[in-house]
């Protein structure tokens, strides 16, 4: 569990509304309307910063991203913002961020028993455009959910937005993450998300004993 909590410290930053100098910017171009992929230096949330082509760049259709790269197609050329500043590594108040990361990390990753009522189909939605649409967020993931970590006697609130941004709150502290390829990413740690009867269940990739069950509240 200590290793898992350490990995979660990378998720202790806050999403900023303004561009940060330490974010990465990647320009990727589809030449002759062909597919092109552009590597990114770190796993992070990605947004289109500036379209450079006359051809529209539509997320899920002519561009998208995963943990390793951004891809473009059909003539899209654009500069993309890789939100590396959200990791919190550049925050001057290191002790506060470490404390927040440990608290939220423990709450999100606390082990909890069985999820027999999981559903397998994550993409039962007309908005899904196919396997290249890795940033797609199915409707059942969108909303606010509440969970409980009995090990730390801590309530957790998890909010997932339609644009893929995720935020977990516990004990007055906040950790941010993002959805990609049907998974929740918190810093360097990744969780599968499965639909349950009344909400969702997160389970850490590589350690299926670390699961939290959430109930939808809105």
129 against 5, higher pLDDT = 129
Tokens 């797609």 label which residue?
Answer: 136
Q: 7-21, 129-143, 166-180: which has the minimum mean pLDDT?
A: 7-21
- Highest mean pLDDT among 25-29, 89-93, 100-104 belongs to 25-29
Q: What is the pLDDT, as a whole number, of residue 144?
A: 97
Residues in contact with 95: Cβ distance below 8 Å, sequence separation at least 6, in sequence order: none
Q: What is the pLDDT, as a whole number, of residue 186?
A: 85
User: Residue 137, class by beta-carbon neighbours within 10 Å (0-12 exposed, 13-18 middle, 19+ buried)?
Assistant: buried
Q: What is the mean pLDDT of residues 8-24?
A: 48
The residue among 32, 133, 23 whose CA lies nearest residue 75 is: 32
Q: What is the pLDDT, as a whole number, of residue 187?
A: 79
- 91 pLDDT above the threshold of 60: no
Q: 43-47, 121-125, 132-136, 172-176: which has the minimum mean pLDDT?
A: 121-125
- 66 pLDDT above the threshold of 80: yes
């Amino acid at each position: 569990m200590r290793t898992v909590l350490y990995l979660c410290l990378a998720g202790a930053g806050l999403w900023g509304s303004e561009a940060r100098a330490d974010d990465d910017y990647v320009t990727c171009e589809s030449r002759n309307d062909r597919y092109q992929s552009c590597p990114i230096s770190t796993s992070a949330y990605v947004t289109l910063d500036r379209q450079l082509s006359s051809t529209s760049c539509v997320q899920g259709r002519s561009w998208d991203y995963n943990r390793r790269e951004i891809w473009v197609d059909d003539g899209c050329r654009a500069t993309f913002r890789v939100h590396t500043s959200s990791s919190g590594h550049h925050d001057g108040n290191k002790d506060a961020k470490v404390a927040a990361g440990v608290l939220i990390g423990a709450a999100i990753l606390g082990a909890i028993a069985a999820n027999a009522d999981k559903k397998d189909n994550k993409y039962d939605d007309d908005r899904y455009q196919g396997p290249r649409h890795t940033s797609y967020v199915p409707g059942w993931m969108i909303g606010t959910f509440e969970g409980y970590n009995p090990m730390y006697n801590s309530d957790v609130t998890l909010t997932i937005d339609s644009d893929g941004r995720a935020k977990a709150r516990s004990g007055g502290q906040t950790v941010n993450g993002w959805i990609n390829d049907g998974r929740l990413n918190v810093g360097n740690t990744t969780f599968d998300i499965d639909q349950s009867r009344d909400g969702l269940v997160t389970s850490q990739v590589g350690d299926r004993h670390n699961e939290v069950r959430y109930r939808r509240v809105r």
